[in-house]
Structure 1
Amino acid sequence: MADSASQRVLLTGGSSGVGFEAAKVLSAQGHELTILCRNQATADQTLSQLSGSARSVTCDLADLSAVEEVCNQLLADETALDALVLNAGLQYAGASEAQFSAQNIELTFAVNQLAHQLMAMRLLPLLQRAARPRLVITASEVHNPGSGAGKVGKPADLGELEGLRAGAGFAMLNGSARFDGNKAYKDSKLCNVLMARELNRQLDAAMPVIAWSPGLVITRNSGGFFRYNKRSNPLGMGAFAFVARDLLRITESVDNAGRLLAQLVNDPEIPTGFSYFTNKVVSFGGHRLEPTDTSVEGADLQKAEALWQLSAQLITRSLST
């Protein structure tokens, strides 16, 4: 059941894919959106397609300095946030060489996790001013080695966070010097789950902290974060999309995944505390969003705290240089 009252929602990754579809739903419902976009052209295009109240803020999530600047702007506004939706993500499927952010941090981790942790660290005061705040983080079932998608290729595994402990310049979080783009994405989604766990601990379960998996979302033009994979391996991505979407019919449509994200943002029946939802395949081409257990590593509260603390230290060092 959706909440009819207007909410103030900050959304990352709202210019394409699942995030854009969610933005269309939330905007049409009358919620006040603030959408982070990479550049002004993207912002203008996004806002032109929304029917309700929305504004854009230009921010490159691959640059922690830009994220910090945006957070300072939002804090200066002193406007409460009803929902913080950390949805943006990228994946370099098949890549064997790491790419690095403005602060020399492996790009998948920098965008999918570190930028979002910085936003959570800075913007929690705005959430805590709202009457019924919530945090929503887009993770993925690939974080779980026991899931179907998690079994393909090397599984998510953060080890003892050896790479992160070494500081900027690491290729993989577990300390491996050999980069694997698929595993880096899985690891980042495991980090998203652990971030949600740690935020819930810090907040003492005072608000809903929701991590979720939208399922395997592939658009007809391989949009969303799959655009990076299409550039590096167009034939492979095309074949994968055809089999998964058209033959096996295990994929979810981008518009329905967006509706599910909007539902998680404004459903008042979701309880306070940590929740993990998965958009499960339940029939040939059918899906159902339901509460699910995370992986064992995704439930490791000690690792969640260590990940948060080491990431916070990396953010501090990166912003001070």
Structure 2
Amino acid sequence: MKQILITGASSGIGLEAARRLVSSGHQLTLLCRSSERGQQTHAQLVAACASPGQVTCLVADLADLRSVQSACDQLLDRGEPLDALVLNAGQQRAGVAAPVWSSQGIEITFAVNQLAHQLIATRLLPLLRAGSQPRVVITASDVHNPATGGGRVGQPADLGDLAGLRAGAGFVMLDGTARFDGDKAYKDSKLCNVLLGLEFDRQLAGALPVLTWSPGLVIQRSRDGFFRHNRQSNPVGMALFALVARDLLRVTESAATAGGLLADLITDPAYASPGFSYWSNRLVRPGMHRFSAVQTSAAAADLAKAGELWRLSEALIRTALASH
């Protein structure tokens, strides 16, 4: 039995992975954005097969660094070792005309997808080091790579010299661009996720597996999943996109299959080799994906950029927590 912490397990691939993990007897701690969401998720997993004490849900709104810090403090006080740290939560706001701000005044895509996860990884490292054969799993995306299908659509991921992040809270885009592009903000955040794994592995000196991965394009039918913000801003366009991608072109992956891949990354001995790696569930033809280790984009392999992103993010976290 493993002690596993997961963000983003209330819906989609995170929930599917959680179902598989509890059915295999593992103990889960889930960080949920509200107590109501946590209660719903706990009830779903108990209904699926978990015993009530097998799942613990803590409130950690990833759009609020203080909420994240509070949850980490609770876990540190509890002192139970972690065998797996799964940084899976994410959101996308493609099509949104203006940035949305986190509780600390940070563009919310970066705040949720990257900054909160760096805070969790940093704060909970002592628990991870105390775990039995621990590993880190970070859900990224192939859209970080401009050479992939999704990465070629629209503006490519590009952090520039991190001019926006250097300016501190209130930046619109990480590269310093003043005009908001929700699709590019998401791609940039996924590039950051891969760089987060790369730098975390460097700091750990390759002592444990740091697995970054892309699940493929997963479109949930749920109204409260990953694409919920897109549905709110453009419901007709999102419905049409889902119809074409899922039912006509057959380029999507099911949440059940992607959730199974995530569960394997978390527990399967096949993924236990120490060091950084990137895994992709790539489309090989309509209706068929192949999961394998692949190279990241050149930008995602930039060790100097990974270190600078970590340093600037750490400074922003420290400033944000001190001033709010």
**2:14 pairs with 1:13:** no
Q: How many residues were matched structurally?
A: 316
Counterpart residue identity of residue 33, structure 1 = L
Instruction: Tell me how far apart the structure 1 counterparts of residues 225 and 208 of structure 2 sit (CA, whole Å).
Output: 29
The aligned counterpart of 1:263 is 264
Once the two structures are TM-superposed, the CA of residue 46 in structure 1 deviates from its matched residue by 0.8
Greater mean deviation of Cα atoms: 117-126 or 267-276: 267-276
1:206 alignment partner, SS class: coil
1:282 alignment partner, SS class: strand
Instruction: Tell me how far apart the structure 1 counterparts of residues 162 and 225 of structure 2 sit (CA, whole Å).
Output: 29
The aligned counterpart of 2:225 is 224
The aligned counterpart of 2:317 is 315
Once the two structures are TM-superposed, the CA of residue 222 in structure 1 deviates from its matched residue by 5.8
Once the two structures are TM-superposed, the CA of residue 119 in structure 1 deviates from its matched residue by 0.3
Matches within 5 A, 1:39-188: 39-50=34-45, 51-52=49-50, 53-188=54-189
Offset from partner CA, 1:43-83 (integer Å, 9 cap, x none)? 11111121221110011110001111111111111110000
The aligned counterpart of 1:241 is 242
Of 265, 272, 275, which aligns to 2:274?
272
Instruction: Tell me how far apart the structure 2 counterparts of residues 42 and 144 of structure 1 sit (CA, whole Å).
Output: 33
Q: CA RMSD in A?
A: 0.9
Once the two structures are TM-superposed, the CA of residue 157 in structure 1 deviates from its matched residue by 0.1
Instruction: Tell me how far apart the structure 2 counterparts of residues 100 and 209 of structure 1 sit (CA, whole Å).
Output: 30
* Maintained 8 Å contact 1:33/1:55: yes
Instruction: Tell me how far apart the structure 1 counterparts of residues 222 and 139 of structure 2 sit (CA, whole Å).
Output: 22
Once the two structures are TM-superposed, the CA of residue 221 in structure 1 deviates from its matched residue by 4.1
Gaps of 5+ in 1: 1-5
* Maintained 8 Å contact 1:15/1:42: yes
* Maintained 8 Å contact 1:8/1:32: yes
Of 23, 31, 34, which aligns to 1:36?
31
Moved >4 Å (runs of 4+): none
Once the two structures are TM-superposed, the CA of residue 286 in structure 1 deviates from its matched residue by 1.3
**2:22 pairs with 1:27:** yes
Once the two structures are TM-superposed, the CA of residue 38 in structure 1 deviates from its matched residue by 1.2
Greater mean deviation of Cα atoms: 71-80 or 302-311: 71-80
Counterpart residue identity of residue 29, structure 1 = S
Offset from partner CA, 1:148-175 (integer Å, 9 cap, x none)? 0000000000000000000000000000
2:95 alignment partner, SS class: coil
Instruction: Tell me how far apart the structure 2 counterparts of residues 96 and 302 of structure 1 sit (CA, whole Å).
Output: 32
Offset from partner CA, 1:103-140 (integer Å, 9 cap, x none)? 00000000000000000010011010112000000000
The aligned counterpart of 2:288 is 286
* Maintained 8 Å contact 1:91/1:108: yes
Once the two structures are TM-superposed, the CA of residue 283 in structure 1 deviates from its matched residue by 3.0
Instruction: Tell me how far apart the structure 2 counterparts of residues 19 and 194 of structure 1 sit (CA, whole Å).
Output: 21
Counterpart residue identity of residue 7, structure 2 = T
The aligned counterpart of 1:3 is none
Once the two structures are TM-superposed, the CA of residue 281 in structure 1 deviates from its matched residue by 1.2
Counterpart residue identity of residue 163, structure 2 = E
Instruction: Tell me how far apart the structure 1 counterparts of residues 223 and 64 of structure 2 sit (CA, whole Å).
Output: 25
Once the two structures are TM-superposed, the CA of residue 314 in structure 1 deviates from its matched residue by 0.2
1:212 alignment partner, SS class: strand
Counterpart residue identity of residue 122, structure 1 = R
Once the two structures are TM-superposed, the CA of residue 219 in structure 1 deviates from its matched residue by 1.9
2:217 alignment partner, SS class: coil
2:124 alignment partner, SS class: helix
1:9 alignment partner, SS class: strand
Change (3 A) 1:221 1:77: closer
Greater mean deviation of Cα atoms: 50-59 or 60-69: 50-59
* Maintained 8 Å contact 1:96/1:178: no
Once the two structures are TM-superposed, the CA of residue 287 in structure 1 deviates from its matched residue by 1.3
* Maintained 8 Å contact 1:17/1:223: no
1:215 alignment partner, SS class: coil
Once the two structures are TM-superposed, the CA of residue 223 in structure 1 deviates from its matched residue by 5.0
Percent same amino acid at aligned positions?
Answer: 58
